[in-house]
Structure 1
Amino acid sequence: MDASHFFLLLWTGLIFWVLGQIWLVQIVTYPLFARVGEADYVAYHRFYSRHIPLPVILPGFAAFLTPIPLALLGPAVPAWMSAANIVGGVIGLLVTVLLEIPRHARLEKGGKDMGVIVELIRFNWPRTMSITLQAVVTLLMLRHVLVGG
Structure 2
Amino acid sequence: MLVGLIWVVQILVYPQFLRVAAADFKDYHQAHCFRISLIVGPLLFLEASSAAWLIYEGKRTVPFLFSAGLVGVIWLSTAILQAPAHTRLMRGLDAALVRHVIRTNWIRTLAWTARGLLVSVALP
Q: Which amino acid is 1:73 matched to? A: E
Q: Which amino acid is 2:93 matched to? A: K
Q: TM-score, normalised by structure 1?
A: 0.76
Higher relative contact order (CA 8 A, sep 6+): 2
Q: 1:31 aligns with which of 7, 15, 20?
A: 15
Q: Which residue of 1 aligns with 2:27?
A: 43
Whether the aligned pair in 1 keeps the contact of 2:64 and 2:119 (CA below 8 Å) is: no
- 5+ unaligned residues in a row in structure 1: which ranges? 1-16, 144-149
CA-to-aligned-CA distance 1:72-107 (integer Å, 9 cap, x gap): 226x452x1222112210110000111000000000
Q: 1:94 aligns with which of 76, 81, 100?
A: 76
Distance apart, 1:117 and its partner CA: 0.4
Distance apart, 1:142 and its partner CA: 2.6
Whether the aligned pair in 2 keeps the contact of 1:107 and 1:113 (CA below 8 Å) is: yes
Distance apart, 1:27 and its partner CA: 0.4
Q: Which residue of 2 aligns with 1:6?
A: none
Structure with greater Cα Rg: 1
Distance apart, 1:59 and its partner CA: 1.0
Q: Which residue of 2 aligns with 1:56?
A: 40
The Cα RMSD (Å) is 1.6
| 1:19 corresponds to 2:3 | yes
Q: 2:118 aligns with which of 137, 142, 146?
A: 137
Q: What count of residue pairs does the alignment treat as equivalent? A: 124
- 5+ unaligned residues in a row in structure 2: which ranges? none
